[in-house]
């Protein structure tokens, strides 16, 4: 310790790295259950041929409206088709539509929000006011109007759903980016001489990403719900495709013939939405404690 000039900082230990996001997530019981449920849903719907011996479209006219049994876990429908199998295959459609819509919502919303954050003048204000106006209209109502206008093919449905959720994503993306723009490390990056695009891409965006990912999970939940609602009133997925919403609708119209028919689609929708919401909430808490 006899250095004349003390400049070295080395000797003190460095704090240990804190545990990974995944581990922290799995520690909360609700999050752990949510993750497991979502995984089960995904595996079962996409692994439908392996899970169920039945085909979704084959009728068994001896077993119309059969109640749940070991042969038919969820019973059968009005044409004797196994409901469980139809839910699995229908789930594929629901999930694919929801995921695709979420991707569109994220891409459009993030771009929208980032532009608004950078152009803080009247351009940014205008973009946000448009977002506000769109958000003021109830989602399902707006969805109905758009579907009535543009038709309900699979792709138009995906695009419409994506655009429905874009404004809220834009607001979030903008406020997240604004926080990063006000931070000192951003000014540091500018002082180093980095160009604007490089800074956004390499410094700001990765920091904004976790919050956006957490929100994606919530959007996914809402997408499933809205698709189901639209399909329920006949303006969503069209036959011969099935989704959870169409199955719910069919079950509803046959309510007096089979109590269990609408129960299971409704239950599956409920579980999926709950799980994704729980996952999104917990992800938000874990990834960005300042927002929880």
Alpha carbon of residue 75 to chain centroid = 29
Q: How far is the CB of 117 from other proteins (least distance, A)?
A: 18
Q: How far is the CB of 205 from other proteins (least distance, A)?
A: 10
Q: How far is the CB of 194 from other proteins (least distance, A)?
A: 5
Q: Tokens 């007096």 label which residue?
A: 256
Tokens of 218: 């919530």
Q: Tell me whether residue 71 or residue 188 sits nearer to other proteins (CB atom).
A: 188
Q: What is the SS3 assignment for 76?
A: strand
12 vs 26: CA distance, rounded Å: 32
Q: How far is the CB of 21 from other proteins (least distance, A)?
A: 12
Q: Tell me whether residue 124 or residue 266 sits nearer to other proteins (CB atom).
A: 124
Q: Tell me whether residue 95 or residue 199 sits nearer to other proteins (CB atom).
A: 199
Q: Tell me whether residue 145 or residue 190 sits nearer to other proteins (CB atom).
A: 190
Q: How far is the CB of 237 from other proteins (least distance, A)?
A: 40
How many Cα atoms sit within 13 Å of 142 on the Cβ side?
Answer: 16
26 vs 30: CA distance, rounded Å: 9
Q: How far is the CB of 131 from other proteins (least distance, A)?
A: 23
Nearest to 211 by CA among 174, 184, 182, 183: 174
Is the peptide bond between 128 and the residue preceding it cis, with omega within 30 degrees of 0?
Answer: no
Q: Tell me whether residue 201 or residue 255 sits nearer to other proteins (CB atom).
A: 201
How many C-beta atoms lie closer than 10 Å to residue 267's C-beta? Answer: 15
Whole-Å CA distances, 89 to 53, 106, 158: 12, 26, 18
Q: Tell me whether residue 133 or residue 190 sits nearer to other proteins (CB atom).
A: 190
In the complex, the residues that contact other proteins under the rule CB under 8 A are: 1-18, 183-185, 187-195, 198, 203, 206-207
């Amino acid at each position: 310790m006899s250095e004349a000039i003390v400049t070295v900082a080395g000797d003190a230990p460095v704090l240990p790295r804190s545990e990974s996001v995944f581990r922290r997530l799995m520690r909360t019981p609700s999050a752990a259950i949510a993750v497991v449920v979502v995984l089960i849903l995904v595996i079962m719907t996409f692994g439908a041929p392996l899970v169920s011996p039945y085909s979704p479209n084959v009728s068994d006219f001896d077993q119309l409206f059969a109640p749940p049994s070991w042969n038919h876990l969820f019973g059968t429908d009005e044409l004797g088709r196994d409901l469980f199998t139809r839910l699995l295959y229908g789930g594929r459609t629901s999930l694919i539509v929801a995921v695709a819509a979420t991707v569109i919502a994220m891409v459009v919303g993030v771009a929208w929000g980032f532009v608004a954050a950078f152009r803080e003048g009247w351009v940014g204000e205008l973009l946000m006011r448009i977002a506000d106006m769109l958000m003021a209209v109830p989602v399902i109502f707006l969805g109905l109007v758009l579907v009535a206008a543009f038709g309900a093919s699979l792709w138009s449905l995906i695009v419409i759903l994506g655009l429905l959720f874009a404004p809220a994503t834009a607001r979030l993306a903008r406020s997240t980016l604004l926080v990063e723009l006000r931070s000192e490390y951003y000014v540091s990056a500018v002082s180093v001489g980095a160009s604007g695009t490089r800074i956004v891409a390499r410094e700001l965006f990765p920091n904004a990403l976790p919050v956006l990912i957490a929100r994606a999970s919530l959007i996914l939940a809402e997408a499933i719900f809205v698709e189901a609602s639209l399909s329920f009133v006949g303006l969503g997925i069209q036959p011969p495709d099935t989704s959870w919403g169409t199955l719910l609708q069919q079950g509803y119209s046959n309510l007096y013939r089979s109590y269990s028919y609408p129960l299971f689609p409704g239950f599956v929708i409920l579980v999926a939405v709950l799980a994704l919401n729980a996952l999104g909430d917990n992800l938000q808490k874990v990834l960005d404690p300042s927002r929880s």
